[in-house]
Every structure is written in structure tokens, then in C-alpha cells.
Amino acid sequence: MISVFKIQGESMSPRLSGGDFVVASRFYITLSEGDIVVVQHPVYGRIIKRVKHIGESGRFLLTGENEQSLSSEQMGWLARSTIKAKVLFSGRKNTLLAT
């Protein structure tokens, strides 16, 4: 299922900025480091971040795109079930960038 999300906040800047949109799919075949995902985090709610590292158990770490972001340590190791969608592409104010 395809969903559209509106971005709030600047921790994914310059890749994504507040007010940008992303088109994301709930279904995906592979998850790789570097993918942008929308996650339902147990503490921080629905967040959008980049997959930083995938462990052997399949759990993964997230990161932002700049130093304003919550750190990977703060967000902690997360289960695959927290991923609500994988971003396919983004609609930015001035350009269209594949993520």
C-alpha cells in the first residue's frame, strides 16, 4: 500500500526538509542500510529516518542526516515491525529527488 507523508522538522536536512512530502510503500522486498523509512517509534512516535545499520538479528539502527537529529543511541535498536513504510521517492519544494 502506498502512503504519502508530510515531513515535519529538520533532522533529515538537506535530504528532506520540513514541508516536503515522501511517497512510501508499506510493502517492500528488501531493507538496506541507507534506506529512508517511516517508523513508529515506541518513544518518539512516527518518525522518518535513514537506516544506519542492520544487525544479524534483523533489528536495525536509525540515524538522521545532520547533527540536530536524535542519535542512533537515543533511538536504540528497533524491530522490523516498527517500520511502517519504506520511502520510494520524495516531493521536494523545488525538485524531485529519488531517495
DSSP state of 30: -
Query: Which lies closer to other proteins via its Cβ, residue 10 or residue 35?
Result: 10
- Four-residue CA torsion sign, 66, 68, 73, 78: negative
Q: Nearest approach, Cβ of 91 to other proteins (angstroms)?
A: 4
Q: Which is nearer to other proteins, 57 or 98 (CB)?
A: 98
Where along the sequence are the contacts to other proteins (CB under 8 A)? 3-13, 16, 18, 20-23, 38, 44-49, 64, 68-71, 74, 91-94, 96
Backbone φ, ψ for residue 76 (5° rounding): 75, 175
